[in-house]
Amino acid sequence: MKSQESIAITIKGVQKHFGQVHALRGIDLEIRRGEFFGLLGPNGAGKSTLINTIAGLTRADVGQISVMGYDVAKQYRMARRCIGIVPQELVYDSFFNVREMLRLQAGYFGCGHENHNWIEELLDVLMLHDKADTNVKALSGGMKRRVLVAMALVHKPDVVVLDEPTAGVDVELRQSLWEFIKRLHNEGHTIVLTTHYLEEAESLCDRIAILGEGKIIALDSKQGLLDRGVNHVQLVTLTTEDPIQDIPAQLSKNIKQHNGSELVLQLNQKTDNIIDLLDAVRNTGAIIKTIKTSEADLEDVFMEITNNGRLT
Amino acid sequence: MNIRGFYTLFCKELLRFYKVAVQTILAPVITALLYLLVFSHVLKEHIEVYPDVSYTAFLIPGLIMMAVIQNSFANSSSSLIQSKYTGNILFILLPPLSYLEFYLAFMAAAVVRGVAVGTGVLLTSLFFVDLPLHSMLYLLLFGIMSSATLGSMGIIAGIWADKFDHLAGFQNFVIMPLSFLSGVFYSIHSLPDIWQTASHFNPFFYMIDGFRYSFFGQSDVDPLFSLSVVSLFLLILASTAMWILKSGYKLRN
């Protein structure tokens, strides 16, 4: 049995309806302190609803959630002090500049002048100092995203939840945000990340839960999930002398990518036979020049688990 | 209690209207003065509502209270609908603020704006006419309680409204008619019986009548009765606003 001191977020039997939509169908999950946890799933899987419920923005119909041991409903003040949320949408208050927004946000959490040095440090670390007196409305999307990260950290929370923090940001900013989030993790923060970029989750997360239709359909360490792919999924990349014009129906469910004379096939090692698939390619009259095989990455595992978005 | 959290939210709401003071303070003061100039010029020779009180002087407390009513309501309601619309409402839903702290901060900021606009109308009106002051206590009680009442109503409307149209409807079809038909420009004794009776069901009438008493010592109904009605109205709206905030209606779902 795990000690409560080692758990950052506990979710027990959480259900949530929005009218007829059953958004969360009994979620049970424990996220450990100091963990870098990934929450993945196709659109509409319930990721944001789950995060909103943890943050107190939505109330669960059934079930219980605690953050650092504090119940988010009954001990909401302590629970909210322990958590910082970076929302998915680029929201801001057009009446205020960056520094004002950070100071106001800190004030809502009960922090006063003693917190101003920390705010200046955040402005430095997130490269916002030059823009501190600029109205947030005038900032680029990437800068606004950094302001949201800073706002989530103004009260020095133990747990940081990032809801698709790199959605729509350029590569440079994405890299700098990754570095910053890794630094937070190394300093002992518990990080919960939802993302559509699976390479991001593969690179950063210790453990990953995959949500589908309001349920957890996979929960494992990153390596555990990848091992599922190693055992079941293999990618075969073929190049042919001439482009393949008509793909045989037999191959259609296996095609991951088709670009002229390059064909990438995804094989389920339990059900597919590589010889049969190669024969099907040859039967089109194509002459195979090269064959390359590779093991699955997290994206392949994700697609297999969610069956291209349709859950098995 | 998260005193600092409450105080920060209160300050944020003050800053919000202070940063656009031309729109939130100056414009309503000028509007009230235009009413004063037009109505007093047209009617001052024809109407004497109270003995020894000119029509221009009679008009001023009503105009002050109408400005207080409209601006207190506008402050809390527009802040909430804008925050909901832009999504930045989550900045105040994520922190450890209770429904009571949330309510008090928005209501207190609405009171400050209402009183600021009312004071502006009063001070500029003094350039046009001398106003007596019968009771400072009644003036403060009616001024603050009325703006708190409308601030509470603004919180309810701001949470209920899904779009700016809903709020405009509330302002145009509830606040505006009730404030214009509350005796700002006339004494209800000059109305036919049926409209006199109807006026007694308008809570804004008691706000204006009681506020006018604080200047002239004369009113259409007993000021203590008016104070009781305003207090009851404040209690009902404050309780409703807090109940809505506690339930999370349209905010935490």
- Band (pLDDT 50/70/90 cuts) for residue A230 is low
Is B86 in Cβ contact with A91 (below 8 Å)?
yes
What is the SS3 assignment for A77?
Answer: helix
Closest CA to B144 of B65, B236, B58: B65
Is A91 in Cβ contact with B19 (below 8 Å)?
no
Does residue A158 register a pLDDT over 90?
A: yes
Please, are residues B203 and B230 in contact by the beta-carbon 8 Å criterion?
yes
- Alpha-carbon distance B27 to B232, whole Å? 31
Please, are residues B125 and B33 in contact by the beta-carbon 8 Å criterion?
yes
Residue-wise pLDDT for A112-126, tens only, equals 899 999 999 999 988
Contact with chain A for residue B248, Cβ under 8 A: yes
Helix B99-125 and helix B223-247, axial crossing angle in degrees, nearest 10? 140
What is the domain count for chain B? Answer: 1
Return the domain boundaries, chain A: 233-306
Residue A75 — φ and ψ, nearest 5°? -120, 50
Please, are residues B241 and B156 in contact by the beta-carbon 8 Å criterion?
yes
Is B92 in Cβ contact with A110 (below 8 Å)?
no
Length of chain A: 312
Closest CA to B65 of B158, B162, B138, B9: B138
Per the prediction, chain A carries an average pLDDT of 86
| Domain housing B238 | 3-247
Please, are residues A161 and A84 in contact by the beta-carbon 8 Å criterion?
yes
pLDDT score of A1: 45
Test mutation, A88, A108, A149, chain B, max B CBs within 10 A: A108
Is A81 in Cβ contact with B96 (below 8 Å)?
yes
- Alpha-carbon distance A41 to B17, whole Å? 42
Q: Smallest CA–CA separation between B133 and chain A, in Å?
A: 38
Q: Which of A64-78, A201-215, B179-193 has the highest mean pLDDT?
A: A64-78
Q: Where are the alpha helices (DSSP H) in chain A?
A: 47-55, 76-81, 98-108, 116-125, 141-153, 171-186, 198-204, 222-232, 274-282, 298-306
Q: Which residues contact B229 (CB under 8 A, 6 or more apart)?
A: B203, B206
Q: What's the rounded mean pLDDT across residues A94-111?
A: 95
Which stretch of A70-74, A100-104, A172-176 has the lowest confidence by average pLDDT? Answer: A172-176
pLDDT, averaged per 10 consecutive residues of chain B (253 residues), comes to: 95 94 92 86 69 84 94 96 93 96 97 96 90 94 97 96 91 88 80 84 94 93 96 97 94 84
Angle, CA A40 vertex, CA A14 and CA A302 arms, to 5°: 125
- Alpha-carbon distance A304 to A46, whole Å? 19
- Band (pLDDT 50/70/90 cuts) for residue A311 is very low
Contact with chain A for residue B15, Cβ under 8 A: yes
Which A positions 36-95 lie with beta carbon below 8 A of chain B?
Answer: 55-59, 76-78, 80-81, 85, 87, 89, 91-95
Query: What CATH number was assigned to the domain covering residues A233-306?
Result: 3.30.70
Q: Which residues contact B25 (CB under 8 A, 6 or more apart)?
A: B17, B113, B116, B117, B120
Q: Is residue B252 part of a domain?
A: no
For residues B181, B185, B188, B190, the Cα torsion angle rounded to the nearest 10 degrees is -130
User: Which tokens in the block code for residue A154?
Assistant: 């103004």
- Band (pLDDT 50/70/90 cuts) for residue A266 is confident
Length of chain B: 253
Q: Where are the alpha helices (DSSP H) in chain B?
A: 3-18, 21, 27-43, 55-86, 90-93, 99-125, 136-160, 164-170, 176-180, 193-199, 203-216, 223-247
Which residues share a beta bridge with A163?
A194
Of all residues in chain A, the one with the smallest CA distance to B8 is A107
Residue-wise pLDDT for A174-198, tens only, equals 888 888 889 999 999 999 999 877 7
pLDDT score of A312: 38
Please, are residues A237 and A263 in contact by the beta-carbon 8 Å criterion?
yes
User: Which tokens in the block code for residue B159?
Assistant: 């949470």
Q: Is residue B110 part of a domain?
A: yes
Nearest by CB to residue B253, choosing from A59, A81, A151, is A59
pLDDT score of A60: 92
pLDDT score of A101: 96
What is the SS3 assignment for A258?
Answer: strand
Please, are residues A261 and A241 in contact by the beta-carbon 8 Å criterion?
yes
- DSSP states of A119-181 as a string? HHHHHHHTT-GGGTTSBGGGS-HHHHHHHHHHHHHTT--SEEEEESTTTT--HHHHHHHHHHH
Please, are residues A148 and A129 in contact by the beta-carbon 8 Å criterion?
no
Nearest by CB to residue A109, choosing from B12, B90, B96, is B96
Contact with chain B for residue A21, Cβ under 8 A: no
Of all residues in chain A, the one with the smallest CA distance to B101 is A108
Which B positions 67-106 lie with beta carbon below 8 A of chain A?
Answer: 83, 86-88, 90-98
Which H helix or E strand runs over A13?
strand A7-18
Contact with chain A for residue B34, Cβ under 8 A: no
> Quick one: DSSP state of residue B22?
I
Residue-wise pLDDT for A5-51, tens only, equals 799 999 999 999 998 889 899 999 999 999 999 998 888 888 989 99
User: Which tokens in the block code for residue A88?
Assistant: 């998915």
- Band (pLDDT 50/70/90 cuts) for residue A307 is low
> Quick one: DSSP state of residue A6?
G
Contact with chain A for residue B23, Cβ under 8 A: no
Q: Is residue B220 part of a domain?
A: yes
* Cα separation values, A78 from A10, A61, A135, A157, B99, Å: 15, 21, 31, 11, 15
Match 């009616």 to its residue by tokens: B142
> Quick one: DSSP state of residue A285?
T
* A155 neighbourhood in chain B, CB within 8 Å: 95
Q: Smallest CA–CA separation between A90 and chain B, in Å?
A: 9
Question: Is ipTM strictly over 0.95?
Answer: no
CA A165 to chain centre: 8
Which residues share a beta bridge with A255?
A265
* B248 neighbourhood in chain A, CB within 8 Å: 59
Is B16 in Cβ contact with A92 (below 8 Å)?
no
